[in-house]
Amino acid sequence: MEDFKLTGVLPATFTPMKANGDVDYDKIDEYCEFLSREGIRQIYVNGSTGEGPSLTAEERMRLTECWVKYGKKNGRLSKIIIQVGGTCLKDSITMAKHAETIGADAISTLPPLYFPVATPQDLVEHVRAVAAAAPTIPMYYYHIPFRSGVNINMEQFLLAGRDVIPTLRGIKFSDKDLVQMCACLRTKDARGRNFNIVFGSDEQMLGAMALGADGAIGSTYNWMSGTFRRLLTRLDQGDLQAARLEQTRSQDVVKQVFAFGEKTNGTVSTLKVVMSLVGLDLGPVRGPMRELETKDKEAFFKALTDLGFMEWRKE
């Protein structure tokens, strides 16, 4: 745990489903192979992209087992982070303990989803209770206020939590407030290391990385990681113009994802469609999200093709 640090781009994985809506656990081996080919070695499991909150606790734990089993096979994945949050702290504790036991590399948790917390201290107490169930692996808080409804100041959370949660290592920061993100980046944990802040809004990642974010977790890194790795290289080289080109390309794609996502009550469905387009069919989504109708699927394919996505994603 000493040197655990997330950098670069990490996909938030999808959950493979069968046509009948059951989780397709066996598919994960193939998914790991796909990610390997894409150059991915770190993943975030059972988050929003993975429809974590739409799965039962049992399904989430079995998924975790499969990700660890297949991901660690031949060392394909080096860091597997398991999201264990939901409405029920007791379930989160069970899942956290399980993740540690079966060999996950880190855990992450949403805030409590129904009864909110109003202060940094109450959030710390919640995250502490989850983290204590997996005391040997790092904990990342999952900050996504537009979805969770909990918008505690993250710098204050880190300051209040660092001495109380020994395993607190950082934040999956899915919010547009980059000032707050910068403040977190400069906050030190109990051992004097900077907290590890991983940004979660793919389509403005360049802004966050310019400001110093350590890395990025998101859904489009499943099928557009090359684009973003080029972006990071260009940024490192000081070639902003070239970095912006990559960001622009990704924004064009994400704009289509959102536009078609309005037809499916959420974007996971359209995001999964892109997976099948790039070679890995992961099946349908769960309610309350819906599938794209065939004609919309075709229009969506066409829109991405017109953007040149199929070409430049492989550059």
Residues in contact with a copy of itself by CB under 8 A are 21, 48, 51, 53-57, 59, 86-91, 111-119, 122, 125-126, 129, 147-149, 176-179, 182-183, 186, 201, 203-204, 206-212, 235, 237-240, 243-244, 247-248, 251, 254-255, 265-266, 268, 286-290
Residues belonging to the active site: 142, 172
CA quadruple 263, 267, 268, 273: dihedral positive or negative? positive
Least distance to a copy of itself from the beta carbon of 12, Å?
14
Q: Which is nearer to a copy of itself, 71 or 161 (CB)?
A: 161
Q: Which is nearer to a copy of itself, 36 or 251 (CB)?
A: 251
| Closest to 107 in 3D by CA, of 97, 115, 120, 117 | 97
3-state secondary structure 99-161: HHHHCCCEEEECCCCCCCCCCHHHHHHHHHHHHCCCCCCCEEEEECHHHHCCCCCHHHHHHHH
Q: Which is nearer to a copy of itself, 117 or 299 (CB)?
A: 117
Least distance to a copy of itself from the beta carbon of 289, Å?
6
| Closest to 138 in 3D by CA, of 183, 181, 172 | 172
DSSP state of 194: B
Least distance to a copy of itself from the beta carbon of 31, Å?
21
In three-state secondary structure terms, 173 is: strand
Q: Which is nearer to a copy of itself, 37 or 90 (CB)?
A: 90
Q: Which is nearer to a copy of itself, 243 or 292 (CB)?
A: 243
Instruction: Return the H-helix or E-strand segment holding 223.
Output: none
For residue 198, the cross-strand partners are 172, 215
Least distance to a copy of itself from the beta carbon of 119, Å?
8
What is the distance between the alpha carbons of residues 187 and 263, in angstroms, rounded to a whole number? 41
- Binding-site entries for pyruvate: 49, 217
Least distance to a copy of itself from the beta carbon of 25, Å?
15
Q: Which is nearer to a copy of itself, 23 or 77 (CB)?
A: 23
Residue owning tokens 């769960």: 286
3-state secondary structure 92-110: HHHHHHHHHHHCCCEEEEC
Question: With 0-12 CB in 10 A as exposed, 13-18 as middle and 19+ as buried, what is 284?
Answer: middle
Token output for 80: 């597997």
What is the distance between the alpha carbons of residues 67 and 220, in angstroms, rounded to a whole number? 19
Least distance to a copy of itself from the beta carbon of 211, Å?
5
Decide if 150 contacts 123 (C-beta within 8 A): yes
